[in-house]
């Protein structure tokens, strides 16, 4: 029997790779790998009842889990890894971190857990 969901996810991933990606550099210490990823951007302000709202730029990167190979081994994202994304000719650095206070800094999706959505926060805007 054909795995329709798996086939559909694979097709969607191929469409994403063909038209919605750009190359990022994923870094852990001295190890790095270039990955074709689809970025998603969110901006939000935190309100801790102080008179000053703090704005953050949060960006998720979506890519095939198989593409995250560091030091010759497939791996999963860990908090503190960094993503360098060249936007408008400027290298911006995003740190991998959980979206919520507790939890993983990534989500796996797809029937085979083959797609990664990595949560990051801007730490260096390149200026």
Backbone φ and ψ for 45, nearest 5 degrees, come out as -115, 140
Q: Say if CB 59 and CB 40 are below 8 A apart.
A: yes
Q: What is the pLDDT of residues 65-119, one digit of tens each?
A: 999 999 999 999 999 999 999 989 999 999 999 976 668 999 998 778 888 999 9
Average the pLDDT over each of 11-20, 42-51, 114-123 and give the range with the smallest value. 42-51
**pLDDT bracket for residue 43 (50, 70, 90):** low
Q: How far is residue 107's CA from residue 71's CA, in Å, rounded to a whole number?
A: 22
């Amino acid at each position: 029997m054909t795995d329709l969901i798996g086939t559909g996810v694979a097709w969607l991933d191929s469409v994403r790779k063909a038209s919605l990606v750009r190359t990022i550099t994923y870094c852990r210490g001295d190890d790095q790998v270039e990955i074709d990823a689809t970025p998603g951007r969110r901006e939000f302000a935190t309100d801790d009842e102080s008179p000053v709202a703090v704005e953050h730029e949060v960006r998720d990167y979506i890519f095939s889990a198989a593409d995250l190979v560091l030091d010759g081994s497939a791996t999963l994202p860990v908090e503190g890894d960094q993503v360098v994304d060249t936007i408008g000719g400027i290298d911006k650095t995003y740190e991998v971190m959980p979206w919520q206070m507790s939890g993983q800094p990534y989500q796996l999706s797809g029937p085979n857990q083959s797609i990664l959505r990595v949560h990051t926060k801007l730490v260096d805007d390149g200026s």
